[in-house]
Structure 1
Amino acid sequence: MRRYLTVLEIASLHRILIDQYGGTAGIRDPGALESACFRPQCGYYENIIEEAAALMESLAINHPFLDGNKRVSFASVDVFLRLNKYRIIADSDELYKKTMQLFSEKKFEFVELNKLLKKYAVYFP
């Protein structure tokens, strides 16, 4: 059975990231946070990678937090995948550059994120 992150877990992860890397703490839009949290669980997606891409897109694009939305989107996906026996195997600088490139090119969307995660996410039973 798949393990999904809760709203509280994502909010807690956001607080940890803000404390560690700086920025403004707080939830800007509770509805956007709840929507992002439950999007992967809607039954629409074929696999965990698609669910992770949906979570990443929603957290980054819908801006549920005052600051750090891209950071929390990546960290949440990393935790979600780890909870379900997947690991992102990539150099962190390389992956950061690729995700920021998608964002700057206005391609930070489900299809592109799904491709990126398919390339780097590996199952570890």
Structure 2
Amino acid sequence: MREWIWVPLPVLHAIHDRQIARHGGAPGTRDVTLLEGAAARPVNRAVYEAGTVFEVAAAYGFGIAKAHAFVDGNKRTAFVATLTFLRLNGFALRPDPTDGVQMMEDLASGAR
């Protein structure tokens, strides 16, 4: 089994804070327990389903986007957390920002 490098909760908070500072929105965490659950989702995927790096990364995006743990900026945080996990584990992706927005909108709405 591969040893993954996870995105720690303080880093998820920092990602969120930076997204709010850069792009606007209400700051703050609505429910830390929801964020903890969202951060555990990729770990569960890796341990119990032996997911690929991309499946585990997608679990970050899905978990954070759907949890709505932050007051605002959940999809933005989910997107950057996904890219951060990939980067920490040796994959550098630079998706088109428009494609990234559409992907997260689709993910949050259940279209993907």
Give ranges in structure 1 of 5+ residues lacking alignment: 113-125
More strand by share: 1
C-alpha separation in 1, matches of 2:38 and 2:26: 20
- In structure 2, what is the equivalent of residue 17 of structure 1? 19
What is the percent sequence identity of the aligned residues? 30
Q: How does 1:1-125 map to 2 (within 5 A)?
A: 1-42=3-44, 43-45=47-49, 46-100=51-105, 102-103=106-107, 106-107=110-111, 112=112
Runs (4+) of structure 1 exceeding 4 A deviation are: none
Q: Output the TM-score relative to the length of structure 2.
A: 0.85
Q: How many residues align?
A: 107
Cα RMSD after superposing both structures:
1.7
SS at match of 2:48: coil
Unpaired segments of 5 or more residues in structure 2? Answer: none
TM-score normalised to structure 1 length: 0.77
Q: Distance in 1 between matches of 2:60 and 2:23?
A: 22
SS of residue in 2 equivalent to 1:53: helix
